[in-house]
Structure 1
Amino acid sequence: TRPDSGGLLCEADLFRARDRFVHSEHTTWAHEWHIPLPNGLSLLLFGYENRAIGDLIDDLAQTTTEAVTIYLPEGRLLTSAREHLRYPELMAGDQFQRGTVTLHVLPFLPQAQFDRLLWLCDILFVRGEDSLVRALWAGKPFIWQIYPTDDQAHWEKLDALLDTCRGDLPAPAFDAWRTLTHDWNRQRLAPESWQNFIEHHAILASAAEKNRLTLAGQTELSNWLVKTAYERLQCRTN
């Protein structure tokens, strides 16, 4: 959102819960929900059907010498994983290994636990509006899969989001983020897309956290509407 608009809705205790989770509660939570703790770089893949999931896992396995953990919740993207990984029986509770990459298929989690899964990961692939907002509040680098429209208007909306969230990101980091986001939405990953993105991970992570703090400082939408309506009424009565 922009400074002249209402801010995102947010639970009053969300950031305190996030801090507690990151600093002390993540191990207990993972045990309670039967989720393996991440080893190395960790990704959440939550999306619609996407042919590029096979390309992404192949790129990770071929270009990454250190461990990578992927969490794939049950849902529409799991259907694509079964097809493009040639593993039709893949289901919640299963583990898939390719090179240094370990993929864990998770059951669909309640909203509060989904937030904690976001907080557990380093990079978030999310879909639609609801999980996008949760990714913004998580303060992690994200790749957004927008729901496509027949008139192709979704590309303008996608770029508007990227531009709004850019902040002071330097051009090389922003271009890497934008390219991977576009590739993921086109369902075709160019060989260098992931590598360019991960080379800028540190600066993208810093920018995502800065964006979270900026959003947290805005007046949330309902209060902003009340304030704006009051100010306009005052102008008319003076």
Structure 2
Amino acid sequence: MKARWDIFCSVVDNYGDIGVTWRLARQLVAEHDCAVRLWVDDLRAFERMCPQVDVQRAQQWQEGVDVRHWPAQWPVTAAADVVIAAFACQLPPDYMEAMAERERTPLWMNLDYLSAEDWVVGCHGLPSVKFKGVQKYFFFPGFRPGTGGLLREAGLLEQRQAFQQDAVAQRQFLQGLGVFAATGTRLMSLFAYENAGLASWLDVLAADGYATHLLVPEGRILGDVQRWLGVEGLTVGDVHQRGALTVQVLPFVRQEQYDRLLWCCDFNAVRGEDSFVRAQWAGRPLLWHIYRQDEDIHLDKLDAFLELYTEALSPAAKAAVVALWQAWNADGDMAHSWKVLLEHWPQLTAHAEKWCLEQGLQADLATVLVQFYLNWI
């Protein structure tokens, strides 16, 4: 019989939580023949990346996944063989009782946030708390051997490389989004949280001698873009030009389309966790806007990733990347650090591809989860 999996997702950061769990649920079904229920407390957030979902239904099937609305009043539900609490969300008390009542207790894991910090390797897979004999385990995604790896569907990198080598496919995809960038234009994407440092970056792009076409999917950064442009009511489809910079607003697209958008661009500014990982699979230089946490503990995660990511770069290129990322995550002045970064563009482009391929040699997150379960039983 198929192993039954329950994945619980409490939507906290708009789309990051559901983005990760939706990718994971589909991959477990498609590649590992698992029976997956995905419990989501906010189906309207889910609808943005799965438009066919019916937000009024308590249960429905989407791409082989049994999608359930996680209600305030929990229904009587039998516990699954594997239970994943995504990002430390609290399981319903009645469901926890159902886990304890099973003849064979389930494997219970907390799928934690992604981090490159050294301690993650030592904590991955360790037992955590118990509930009436049901043991919970830490499960940490990561970039190093000994962690849970990164979400990566089978054949993803081969698909990406083929797409990036097909100029016609890229042009047709972009035109489908209403994007008509001139040949030789630097194509960039911007998906970020609110950032006071954006204006200085857009200023330097507008004053550049090289044309840039900036694609901005709907999101929280749009208000800052609108203020810089000095316009009101910036909406999907709007295109504005200032100097060498063209700014275009794109709709919020499905995950597969967003992947291809990243593959088309020469540089990707991303945020959170899901888009951060997908930008790395694009094999292109990137800029990460990390989710802010109390007491600035997010900066430790930022520094840990930068240390790992820039390890193979020349000292000057490393300094340029670190300066840009730190300025972006401190709402700082982006102008000087961007100009310095451009001096190392060829090296950074080659490095992004190399980093992607190196990470692709490690087992992906879904595979590691399944193997963890097989070892456990």
Shift of residue 177, structure 1, vs aligned partner: 0.6
**2:168 matched to 1:32?**
no
Aligned 8 A contact 2:213 2:246 in 1: yes
Q: Which of 283, 286, 311 matches 1:139?
A: 283
Q: Please identify the structure whose Cα radius of gyration is greater.
A: 2
Bigger share in helix: 1
Q: Per-residue deviation at 1:226?
A: 5.9
Residue 215 of structure 1 and its aligned partner are, at CA, apart by 0.6
Which amino acid in the other structure matches residue 44 of structure 1?
A: S
* Contact persistence 1:127–1:147 (CA under 8 A): yes
One-letter amino acid of the structure 2 residue matched with residue 41 of structure 1: R
- Structure 2 Cα separation of the partners of residues 227 and 105 of structure 1: 42
Q: Is 1:108 aligned to residue 252 of structure 2?
A: yes
The residue number in structure 1 matching 2:222 is 78
1:221 maps to what in 2?
365
Inter-partner Cα distance in structure 1 for 2:197 and 2:229 = 11
Partner of 2:339: 195
Equivalent in the alignment of 1:94: 238
Does residue 155 of structure 2 align to residue 13 of structure 1? yes
Q: 2:272 aligns with which of 128, 141, 150?
A: 128
Structure 1: segments with no counterpart, 5+ residues: 234-238
Q: Distance in 1 between matches of 2:209 and 2:182?
A: 16
What displacement does 1:229 show? 8.0
TM-score, normalized by length of structure 1? 0.90
Deviations 1:179-234 (A, max 9, x none): 1111111112153111001111111111111010001101223444565788899x
The answer to whether 1:53 aligns with 2:195 is: no
The alignment status of 1:2 with 2:144, answered yes or no, reads yes
Equivalent AA in structure 2 for residue 129 of structure 1: E
1:48/1:127 contact within 8 Å kept: yes
Q: Is the 8 A contact 1:42 1:69 kept in 2?
A: yes
Structure (1/2) with the larger strand percentage: 2
| 2:184 corresponds to 1:42 | no
| Cα separation, partners in 2 of 1:232 and 1:199, compared to 1, 3 Å | same
- The letter for the 2-side match of 1:185 is N
Percent identical residues: 38
Aligned-pair CA distance for 1:6:
3.2
Deviation at 1:151, TM superposition (A): 1.1
Contact 1:147 1:154 in 2 (8 A): yes
Task: Classify 1:221/1:110 alpha carbon distance in 2 versus 1 (closer, same or farther; 3 Å).
Answer: closer
- Aligned equivalent of 1:236: none
> Is the aligned partner of 1:154 residue 2:154?
no
Q: CA deviation at 1:16?
A: 2.8
Q: Deviations over 1:103-137 (max 9, x none)?
A: 11111111000001101111110000000010111
**2:321 is matched with which residue?**
177
How many residue pairs get aligned? The number is 232
Q: Contact 2:187 / 2:267 at 8 angstroms: preserved in 1? A: yes
Structure 1 residue ranges, 4+ long, deviating more than 3 angstroms after superposition = 221-233
The CA deviation string for residues 44-82 of structure 1, in whole angstroms up to 9 with x for no partner, is 1110111222111101122x2121111111111001111
Higher RCO structure (Cα 8 Å, ≥6 apart): 1
Kept in 1, the 8 Å contact 2:177–2:250? The answer is: no
User: Tell me, what secondary structure is at the counterpart of 1:75?
Assistant: coil
SS in 2 for 1:192: helix
Match of 2:206, as an amino acid? A
State the 1:19 CA deviation: 2.5
Aligned residue for 1:17, secondary structure, equals helix
Structure 2: which amino acid aligns with 1:191? A
Structure 2 contact 197–334 (Cα < 8 Å) conserved: no
User: Do the aligned residues in 2 keep the contact of 1:2 with 1:164 (CA within 8 Å)?
Assistant: no
Unaligned 5+ segments in structure 2 are 1-142
